[in-house]
Amino acid sequence: MSDTQRSWSARLAELGIELPKVVAPLGVYYPAVRSGNTVYTSGQLPMVDGELAVHGKVSEGAEGVVRPEQARDAARLCALNALAAVNGLVGLDAVVRVVKVTGFVASAPGFTGQPGVINGASDLLGEVFGTAGHHARSAVGVAELPLGAPVEVEIIVEVGDI
């Protein structure tokens, strides 16, 4: 079966992945909006059951910071939350392809591994959508993120007519 003919919700089940509930907005915005055949998600944090799963800045070696491997796992959580937002708006099976991923990494001074961190999100999208999950991407280091999160991810997906 080709990627464009797949049931993405069935693929999630094959992978043993359950989408979380849509994270409630922290301000005056929607988790996702549709314009034509494009869905844009708001930035998603690594939230689990309404709580931030990990706090802090990402660094290679300092004590008391988030290690790149932890941040990569957090980026995966962000992507799951973004997929939940898409699912809540149009249904996951409406997705034709992932177009763009933008990832923000709260980086300690000198940390330059932002692309590796955001690979956590990109890898998940590839697992779920196959070649339809291949996307353009930006991975940006920032000084701070909301709630002290180490990573934030937003996605843009193309959807079919529904």
**Residue 161: predicted pLDDT:** 79
The pLDDT of residue 62 is above 80: no
Q: Is 86 helix (H, G, I), strand (E, B) or coil?
A: helix
At 6, is the pLDDT very low, low, confident or very high (cuts 50, 70, 90)? low
The pLDDT of residue 1 is above 70: no
At 110, is the pLDDT very low, low, confident or very high (cuts 50, 70, 90)? very high
What's the pLDDT tens digit per position in 7-37?
A: 999 999 999 999 999 999 989 999 999 999 9
Q: How many CA atoms lie within 13 A of 2 on its CB side?
A: 4
Query: 142 pairs with which residues across the strands?
Result: 106
**Please, what's the largest Cα pairwise distance for the chain?**
50
At 65, is the pLDDT very low, low, confident or very high (cuts 50, 70, 90)? confident
Q: Where are the alpha helices (DSSP H) in 16-161?
A: 68-90, 114-129
